[in-house]
Amino acid sequence: MKCMLHRSLLLLYLAVITSSEILFLAVDLPLKGKRSPPNAIWPHPQEIQISNDLLYIRPGHIMISSNMEPCDIIAKAIQRYQPVFFPPKLTMHQPPADASNILRSLTLNVLDNPQCEQYTQYNSNETCNSVWGLLRGLETFSQLIYINEQNYVVINDSVAIIDSPRFQHRGVLLDSSRRFLPVPLIKKNLDVMAYNKLNVFHWHIVDNQSFPFESRTFPNLSRQGAFSSDHVYTPEDVTSIIEHARLLGIRVIPEIDTPGHTYSWGKSMPELITVCWANGKPYQAIYGQHGEMEILNPIEPRVHSTMDALLREVKSIFPSNYIHLGMDEVYDLCWRSNPNVSRWMTDNKINSTRDLHSYYANRILDTMRNISAITIVWQDVWDEKVELPPGTIVQIWKAGQGYNVILSSPWYINYINYGHYRTNTTIVNLEFFKYCEVEPLRDFSGSDDAKIRILGGEACLWGEFVDGTNLLARLWPKTAAVAERLWSAASVNNSEDAQFRLDVHRCRLLRRGIPAQPILNGYCGNYELSMPNSMINDPAFNYDISPATDLTTTTIKSNPATSYLFDATSSMITSIFASLLLLINITLVTISFKY
């Protein structure tokens, strides 16, 4: 079922302090496509109708009430959106003295037995009658607000939206092993994921290069496997990231990649790693094929007891019932070279390293069954014909296939292709175009039942050349194109129109402290990076600040429903009343504006 956002009087147009009207990338190659209003919603809703009349909003003055008083997810979201509604460094004027069309309050209600679901899961409802639907609706509302050319805060007086996600799994993979990613940066990326209605953080937390995950069961793995004692995620760090994601409606899926990609494990537990041989000698690397020792030894009993204990610990920490096991890029030449492994294979009638990989995988999958965790694996293990338990999810990174999958192959954001897609008459940003043009079901010819098994997709950012200096700019706004492919209807597929909407959204991200890369020529405003009103480092949008510097200056007023007054001057609300009422029930969500 879909939800409908409807209002009775409200308007929308963006104005601008937001972006410029540059209609070409080269003078002889004009940009085609429909120009975007300054408050275009991203990702595009399933359906939208919008008026051209506007309501004013007093800067810092909007009463927000909700019947979800006990629900911290909504209570904290209302606080979090204060600087989003009213960017802290931008000039905003009070409405004209004679204006009566002023929006003064917003009501957020979930009808029909509202429940505060504490953690989003794969099958959580993000549309009607749910806290997560309310959260996504609040994001949509925030994008309708803009500052016009006269520096008034405005919103359309009539907007009707029918919306729901196309796919349930809409994720981003970050790699914190090849380059350590500080906790404040991960949290900031979670924020921008929520701005784009993404709901899964796939955390590739360990790999060959380092083991930054601080395990209480095996503390030496990070003590000796991390880059340094400063480059670790303590249990408190991990809990903090999971909690931050929870409040944004994002579930965190950890990846513990084995049996390959485990060189860092060997720094503290060398007995777990296969020693590679060459020319009758141990510890011999054949570069381009394997190192001296980098793959778990599947015949070593301590490997399996270690994995059992570590996976149990991971399961106890991460509320998501999913664990990604990796199982990709296993360089079997090392296994074949080791005389002990070869002898064991002969004695146990295992005829190939593919069968050896299956033996290892089955042992680990048994552990996953025993701890009632759902398995995700990369495509390689399926390619090797390992029998996977029911419910296993296969993540596709080499080619698409028609089984239970998360699609990643077309969305490796770390691959950089500078330039443009062009025809004889037009030109489009190449990187945006290639991600926007992906249609997950384009070549799908299976049944409707099989189609349901395509769970969604992920944008992947591997960390060879990415750290805190460039992660957000590398991801955004390109990953926003992926978000729209996974949220919006398949019919939302005109890239030349989308480039104008995404350019608007890129400026919006700058106003929310995200250093997103440009899409088109032109400018956004005096809040661009390193300009006087830039919010990239503003405390309102960052987390490496002292507790004394909070995200909002919010006064909470008691009411039958919780009320939050954003009032920079503490002045009284006037008797003229304007409200936005968001009602969520089993069939529709209604936003109505009255004044």
Residues carrying an active site annotation: 329
Using CA atoms, how far apart are residues 75 and 358, in angstroms rounded to an integer?
48
What are the C-alpha distances in Å from 355 to residues 368, 382, 385, 481?
20, 12, 9, 40
Rounded distance between C-alpha atoms, residue 489 and residue 44, angstroms? 8
Distances 168 to 126, 204, 218 between C-alpha atoms, Å: 9, 20, 34
Q: How far apart are CA 283 and CA 262, in angstroms?
A: 15
Tokens standing for residue 56: 């004013």
List C-alpha distances in Å: 117 to 70, 193, 248: 11, 20, 12
Exposed, middle or buried, 293 (CB in 10 Å: 0-12/13-18/19+)?
buried
The length of the chain is 595
Contact 196, 480 (CB under 8 A): yes
* Separation between Cα atoms, residue 429 and residue 438, nearest integer Å: 15
Q: What one-character DSSP code corresponds to residue 34?
A: P
Q: Does residue 478 contact residue 190 with C-beta atoms inside 8 Å?
A: no
Q: How far apart are CA 81 and CA 87, in angstroms?
A: 10
Q: Report the relative pairing of strands 29-30 and 24-26 from DSSP bridges.
A: antiparallel
358 vs 210, 301, 307, 352, CA distance in Å?
26, 16, 16, 10
The gap from C-alpha 78 to its chain's centroid, in whole angstroms, comes to 20
Region of 554 on the Ramachandran plot (φ > 0 left; ψ -120 to 50 alpha; else beta): beta
Phi, psi of 372 (to 5 degrees): 60, 40
Is-contact 272 310, C-beta < 8 A? Answer: no
Q: Which two tokens stand for residue 527?
A: 């809040």
Q: For residue 151, give both structure tokens.
A: 């520096």
In sign, the C-alpha dihedral spanning 187, 189, 194, 197 is negative
Kindly report whether the peptide bond that precedes residue 389 is cis, defined as omega within 30 degrees of 0. no
Amino acid letter at 139? E
| Paired tokens of 395 | 């993540």
Question: CA torsion, points 67, 541, 476, 39, in degrees to nearest 10?
Answer: 60
Distance CA 139, CA 473 (A): 21
Q: Residue 338 is which amino acid?
A: N
Burial 516-535 (b: 16+ CB within 10 A, else e): bbbbbeeebbebbeeeebbb
Which amino acid, residue 55? Answer: L
Residue reference for tokens 């069939």: 587
